[in-house]
Amino acid sequence: MKRSLRLGVSAAALAALAVLSACGGGSSSSAKGDRATLDLAVASAVLAPKEEVATHAVGDAEGYLSEEKLKVDVINTNGSVAAVQAVSSGSADITAADAGAILAAREKGVPVKAIGGLVRNWPWRMAVRPDSDIRTPADLKGKKIGVISLASGSAIYARAFANDAGLDAAEDIELLPAGVGAQALAALEDGRVDALALYTQAYTTIENTGAEFRYLDNSDAFEGIRSLTFAVTEKTLKEKRDVLTRYLRAAYKALLFSAVNPEAAMRDGYQVFPQLLTGKKADDRVADDTKTLNAWIRTAVPATGEHESFEDWGAISEEEWTKTVAYTRTSGQITQDAKLTELWDDSLLKGANDFDSAAVIEKAKAAE
């Protein structure tokens, strides 16, 4: 039985998105089939393997972008809000940003539209030390929870998790900035926080060092809330429909390849983003980095089924959008429900799914 997600009205909003003018993308329009350049805004620096490896690096290294006659340049930004700002200002053509940032921008009058889903499985988890006396979500009453920052999605999730457990997030828990990686682990081990609210890939990165966590279960209330989603401006969508379709097709082919052979995908990541190696040899890093990448991939592909059964890449149902809008509104990121017709355009997805999955799978299985 599914429960309704309850969030406190005092939940802090993410950093406000500046209202920007309705500009087009950074590169000129292209006729169907012509070679084109797109600027992709990534919502972080490329310091750990995630979507920029599974979609862009693999798309580049495995030739999926070149097959679509595309050259894609990467622009790094500081979070999803900044990535949406880059698209809105014309510094980038497309981004994979958190759905909440897209909704917030839309409410502020920024003419952005979501055109394809990416992360489909809720990525946030609540974790404690293995020997912690916190056994259930209700046990968080009176506890300190470490979040990436007070303006991050992890803070919103922590409040949501507490309220869903029947607690008052404004009164019963305390949120403290703990960052990610070694900083977050130290805060937990030193007792400065009693639990962490991070995303799955961040935990995997820490676990690669030998650390262990015990996870509290998310309720069914979190199922169906969407996270990273591809977004563009209305102007870019109108002028570059074919180019965007080709980009999405390459990205989804790359994601399928990555799901089948995450180690090969990770080696593609080193080729395109050598900074991931941090000066080390690929063979010395690939095992742990593949675990980290695979943790992210599992949030972006169907939770069940064989690779051959994966289909409808990028689809987001009306029910999922309704839950995502409700979560975003109750968390304080937006103040009113969004009109789905203004927010979401799935007209490119038929073309984006027009590829031979079997060929992608075969290539991935043969890759080293």
pLDDT in tens, 161-211: 999 999 999 999 999 999 989 999 999 999 999 999 999 989 999 999 999
Q: State the pLDDT confidence band at 6, using cuts at 50, 70 and 90.
A: very low
pLDDT of residue 21: 35
- Whether the per-residue pLDDT at 288 is higher than 80: the answer is yes
Q: What range does the domain containing 155 cover?
A: 124-217
Clarify whether residues 238 and 109 are in a common domain. yes
Of the candidates 185, 217, 249, which is a domain's last residue?
217
Q: Tokens standing for 204?
A: 């995997």
CA distance 7 to 170: 10
Average pLDDT value for the chain: 90
Higher pLDDT, 319 or 19: 319
Residues 235 and 339 placed together within one structural domain of the fold: yes
Q: How confident is the model at residue 20 (pLDDT cuts 50, 70, 90)?
A: very low
**Res 368: pLDDT:** 83
Give the SS3 label for residue 115.
strand
* Whether residue 107 is found in the same domain as residue 238: yes
Do 261 and 353 fall within a single domain? yes
Q: Does 135 reside within a domain? A: yes
pLDDT bucket at 30, cuts 50 / 70 / 90: very low
pTM metric for this prediction: 0.85
Q: Which of 197, 217, 237 is the last residue of a domain?
A: 217
Do 148 and 54 lie in a common domain? Answer: no
**What pLDDT, on the 0 to 100 scale, is given for residue 17?**
35
Q: Are residues 109 and 234 in the same domain?
A: yes
**Inside any domain, residue 128:** yes
Q: Is 1 part of a structural domain of the chain?
A: no
pLDDT of residue 279: 94
Q: How many domains does the chain have?
A: 2
Domain identity same for 91 and 202 = no
60 and 106 co-located in one domain: yes
On whether residue 30 sits in a domain, the answer given is no
Q: How far is CA 124 from the centre of its chain?
A: 10
At residue 213, the pLDDT reads 98
Query: Does residue 19 fall inside a structural domain?
Result: no
Same domain flag for 261 and 362: yes
Which residue, 217, 238, 257, sits at the end of a domain? Answer: 217
**pLDDT digit string, tens, across residues 239-250:** 999 999 999 999
Interacting residues of 54 by C-beta distance below 8 A, sequence separation 6+: 254, 255, 258, 265, 293, 296, 297, 300
248 and 312 within one domain = yes
The answer to whether residue 23 is domain-embedded is no
Q: What is the CATH number of the domain that holds 103?
A: 3.40.190.10
The residue written with tokens 């995908």 in the block is: 265
Which of 103, 97, 102, 87 minimizes the C-alpha distance to 23?
87
Do 133 and 58 belong together in one domain? no
Q: How many CB atoms lie under 10 A from the CB of residue 286? A: 20
Residue 72 domain flag:
yes
Q: Closest Cα partner for 343 from 14, 102, 96?
A: 102
Express each pLDDT in 52-97 by its tens digit.
999 999 999 999 999 999 999 999 988 888 999 999 999 999 999 9
Distance between CA 112 and CA 345 in Å, rounded?
10
Q: Are residues 244 and 255 in the same domain?
A: yes
Helices (H), the chain: 51, 58-61, 64-67, 80-89, 99-107, 153-164, 181-189, 200-207, 234-239, 241-260, 262-272, 282-300, 318-330, 340-343, 349-352, 357-366
Q: Tell me if 87 is assigned to some domain.
A: yes
Q: Report pLDDT for 32.
A: 59
Question: Rounded to the nearest 5°, which phi and psi values hold at 212?
Answer: -125, 145
